[in-house]
């Protein structure tokens, strides 16, 4: 029985112990250090760092961001300094904080995912999020994330090469999200996170050209929340492993919706760009909500939407 007010937000996702259920979504919080002037990183549930690849990656050229009504499109293309730079330079600085660090990994081949998983073992990271769903890269993106067999293959390879908890991040750009969720669960995923960005596009009517250099990009922000919520609900009903819900969460009320839909934890993404304190404020708001409702543990919300 948990009743201590300090414990009411604590969650354990596949062995990753978090002080609050509110994580930061990959690609939206840098390596966390970028926000350390604003936020006490010790108060964040978990930091999911930028998508990391074996070799450094320059990302896409041309314009990389476009604002849309209540949302944004990005086509960063996984720019990152590579796994060695992360391990040697960035992780030692993150290790000074009392916060689980989860590395989002991305490969061009199944083997590369395995190499990344092996390399990150015993480096102090708390878990791996397998990015089988980045819409902005030609290889290793949609090909893995939209086919149940290849998604499962990647997860199996990663599981074979690491002792760390493995979270499979699903793409929303599929017909049947429950099918994908079951496939990665069967392959051994310890948890599932969703959604990654939706594939989107914007066109400049003055030049008749696409706004983004990459033509298409990942659509995120509060505009995508209803889609994300529906998919989290469908996925959570299809699997037994914990689901981490994300997609347009700006407030505690948004987060509570995701938890009622079946998410055991949530991540804020685009909200960080607008409000650096979002992850901490959302957690505080969930605590207030629980208190008002007379609940003493955040897990009491999980999956409690009444569809009857």
Partner 1 sequence: MAKTCVLAQIIENSVIAGDVFKLIVTAPAIAGIARPGQFVHLRLTDQLDPLLRRPLSIADCHAANGTLTLIYRVVGRGTMLMTKLQPGDTVDCMGPLGNGFTLTGQRPLLVGGGMGLAPLVMLAKAFCSRPATILMGGRNEQELFWPNMYAGVCPNIHITTDDGSIGYRGFTIDVLPGLLEKEKFDVIYACGPHVMLQGVAAIAAKYKIPCQVSLEEYMACGVGACLSCTCAGTSGKRHKVCTDGPVFWAEEVAW
C-beta of 265: minimal distance to partner 1 in Å? 21
3-state secondary structure 29-93: CCCCHHHCCCCCHHHCCEEEEEEECCCCECCCCCCCEEEECCEEEECCCCCECCHHHHHHHHHHH
CA distance 212 to 74: 8
CB of 116 to partner 1, least distance (A): 20
How many angstroms from the chain centroid is the CA of residue 305?
22
Whether 134 is catalytic: yes
Nearer to partner 1, 136 or 299 (CB): 136
Residues 172/227, Cβ–Cβ less than 8 Å:
yes
Cα separation, 162 vs 118, whole angstroms:
6
Report whether 74 belongs to an annotated binding site.
yes
105 pairs with which residues across the strands? Answer: 52, 130
Q: Which is nearer to partner 1, 69 or 294 (CB)?
A: 69
52 is known to lie in a ligand binding site? no
Is 65 or 203 the residue whose CB approaches partner 1 more closely? 65
The least CB distance from residue 149 to partner 1, in Å, is 32
Task: Pull the structure tokens for residue 304.
Answer: 């409690």
| Contact footprint for partner 1 (CB under 8 A) | 27-30, 34-35, 37-38, 50, 58-59, 61, 63-67, 69-72, 74, 76, 79, 221-223, 250, 270, 272-277
Q: Which of 25, 103, 134, 158 is catalytic?
A: 134
On whether 240 is known to bind a ligand per the annotation, the reply is no
**Shortest distance (Å) from residue 214 CB to partner 1:** 12
Answer yes or no: is 173 a known binding residue: no
2: enclosing H helix or E strand: none
Question: Is 169 known as a binding-site position?
Answer: yes
Active site residues: 134
The binding site comprises: 26, 50-51, 74-78, 104, 131, 169, 195-197, 221, 247-248, 269-270
């Amino acid at each position: 029985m948990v009743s201590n007010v300090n414990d009411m937000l604590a969650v354990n996702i596949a062995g990753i112990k978090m002080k609050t259920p509110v994580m930061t979504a990959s690609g939206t919080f840098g390596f966390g250090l970028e926000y350390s002037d604003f936020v006490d990183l010790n108060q964040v549930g978990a930091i999911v760092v930028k998508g990391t690849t074996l070799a450094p990656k320059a990302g896409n050229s041309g314009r990389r961001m476009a604002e849309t009504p209540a949302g944004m499109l990005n086509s960063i293309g996984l720019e990152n300094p590579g796994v060695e730079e992360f391990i040697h330079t960035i992780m030692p600085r993150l290790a000074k904080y009392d916060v689980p660090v989860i590395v989002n990994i991305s490969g061009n081949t199944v083997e590369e995912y395995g190499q990344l998983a092996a390399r990150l073992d015993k480096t102090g990271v708390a878990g791996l999020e397998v990015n089988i769903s980045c819409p902005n890269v030609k290889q290793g993106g949609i090909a893995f994330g939209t086919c149940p067999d290849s998604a499962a293959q990647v997860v199996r390879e990663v599981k074979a090469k690491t002792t760390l908890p493995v979270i499979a991040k699903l793409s929303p750009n599929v017909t049947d999200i429950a099918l994908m969720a079951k496939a990665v669960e069967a392959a051994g995923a310890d948890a599932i996170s969703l959604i990654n960005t939706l594939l989107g596009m914007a066109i400049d009517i003055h030049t008749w050209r696409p706004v983004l250099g990459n033509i298409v990009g990942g659509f995120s922000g509060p505009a995508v929340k209803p889609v994300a919520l529906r998919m989290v609900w469908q996925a959570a009903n299809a699997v037994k492993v914990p689901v981490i819900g994300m997609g347009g969460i700006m407030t505690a009320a948004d987060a509570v919706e995701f938890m009622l839909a079946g998410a055991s934890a949530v991540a804020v993404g685009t909200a960080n760009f607008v409000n650096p304190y979002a992850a901490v404020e959302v957690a505080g708001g969930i605590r207030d909500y629980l208190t008002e409702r007379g609940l003493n543990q955040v897990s009491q919300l999980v999956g409690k939407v009444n569809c009857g």
